[in-house]
């Protein structure tokens, strides 16, 4: 299982334009039983979501990678 890994999930924003990007610790598709939402953001498109994800991995204090 990969519960210590961070994942980016992106889907349509049901309340308006753009996409909802979510960073989680753990992911059901990776076989994780527990998932924690670390942060989320409304972004323009998939490229913006990927840039945001890379920036958050550096900026956020909850990162715990070695």
Look at residue 3 and tell me whether its pLDDT is greater than 60: no
Say what the pLDDT of residue 1 is. 47
Q: Please work out, in degrees rounded to the nearest 5, the angle formed at the alpha carbon of residue 53 by the alpha carbons of 7 and 56.
A: 110
Residues 13-39 have pLDDT tens digits of 999 899 999 999 888 888 888 899 999
In 1-66 the beta strands, taken as DSSP E runs, fall at: 6-12, 19-25, 36-43
Say what the pLDDT of residue 62 is. 66
pTM beyond 0.85, yes or no: no
Per the prediction, the chain carries an average pLDDT of: 86
Residues 33-57 have pLDDT tens digits of 889 999 999 999 999 999 999 999 8
Q: Please state the domain extents for the chain.
A: 6-59
């Amino acid at each position: 299982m990969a519960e210590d890994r961070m994942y980016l999930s992106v889907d349509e924003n049901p309340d308006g334009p753009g996409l909802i990007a979510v960073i989680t610790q753990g992911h059901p598709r990776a076989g994780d039983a527990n998932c924690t939402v670390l942060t989320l953001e409304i972004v323009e498109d998939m490229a913006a979501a990927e840039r945001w994800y890379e920036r958050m991995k550096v900026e956020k204090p909850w990162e715990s990678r070695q």
